[in-house]
Amino acid sequence: MGKIFVSDHPVVKSMITVLRSETTSVGEFRRAISDISMLLCYEAFRNAGLDTFEVKTPMGMAEGVALSDKMAVTVPILRAGLGMTEGILRLLPDCGVGLVGMYRNEETLIPVEYYCKLPSYTGQSLVIVTDPMLATGGSASDAVDLVKKKGGKRIILLCVIAAPEGIEKFSSRHPDVDIYCACLDGGLNDRGYIVPGLGDAGDRIFGTV
Ligand code: PRP
Ligand code: URA
């Protein structure tokens, strides 16, 4: 079973509250999703490999380091995962971006794939799959299937709010993939929405109702 990281950071907790509130504007919502994504990515790279090299400062030589993962790829699950991309690129500006489009059938809750475009070097990269909501876990599990089909081997999942049902399904289908989430909620309602959650993440990021 992969590692499951749940943030306990006060800054992240306060941002989750912004996301939950139904009075939060679209702009504030996007900002909080983006900032949380950057902070989750920061946590995910805590034990990242480093290359060392000499750097010349105006005062002399110093030992410098750079992340070994030069060719990371982030894969947002459309639509809502797209809201997480800017925050990740703030931390990893050279990161590639692959796109997977999925929506849940509202009755069956089964994800329907409608788009997939992944960089050719996905198999050589650390792949960061993103979606704000891990509800039943079906969308994230299917997205990781697509990444693996493209050759992806080192994969992590970043989500903002996870439900226990989603963690359970995802971990059993992909025990080799670590999950980083900002918050673990109580469960799902009878329409497959996370409670208390934040509502429909895609609608709130894109201003559709
Ligand atoms: C939402 C969310 C996830 C999925 C999570 O997308 O962004 O992709 O549901 O649910 P699951 O864990 O039960 O699969 P949605 O289907 O609403 O599509 P959208 O992002 O285009 O609005
Ligand atoms: N998708 C969402 O956008 N929100 C949920 O609570 C569950 C799935």
CA angle 85, 89, 95 (to 5 degrees): 105
pTM comes to 0.97
Q: Average pLDDT over the chain, rounded to whole?
A: 97
Model confidence pLDDT, tens digit, residues 13-64: 999 999 999 999 999 999 999 999 999 999 999 999 999 999 999 999 999 9
CB 87 within 8 A of CB 74: no
Model confidence pLDDT, tens digit, residues 187-197: 999 999 999 99
Q: Which of 33, 75, 102 is the pocket-test mutation for ligand 1 (most atoms within 8 Å of CB)?
A: 102
- What are the chain's domains? 4-206 (3.40.50.2020)
pLDDT at 69: 86
Would you state the structure tokens that stand for residue 91, as one six-digit string? 């931390």
Which residue's CA is the closest to the ligand 2 atom numbered 2?
200
Tell me the CA–centroid distance for residue 103 and ligand 1, in Å: 6
Q: Which residues are catalytic?
A: 104, 108, 200, 203
pLDDT band at 173 (very low <50, low <70, confident <90, very high): very high
Tell me the CA–centroid distance for residue 51 and ligand 1, in Å: 37
CB 29 within 8 A of CB 205: yes
Distance CA 39, CA 42 (A): 5
Pocket of ligand 2 (CB under 6 A): 80, 133, 135, 193-194, 197, 200-202
pLDDT at 209 over 90: no
Model confidence pLDDT, tens digit, residues 83-104: 999 999 999 999 999 999 999 9
Distance CA 33, CA 25 (A): 12
List beta partners, residue 160.
none
Query: Which residue type is seen at 64?
Result: G
CB 146 within 8 A of CB 100: yes
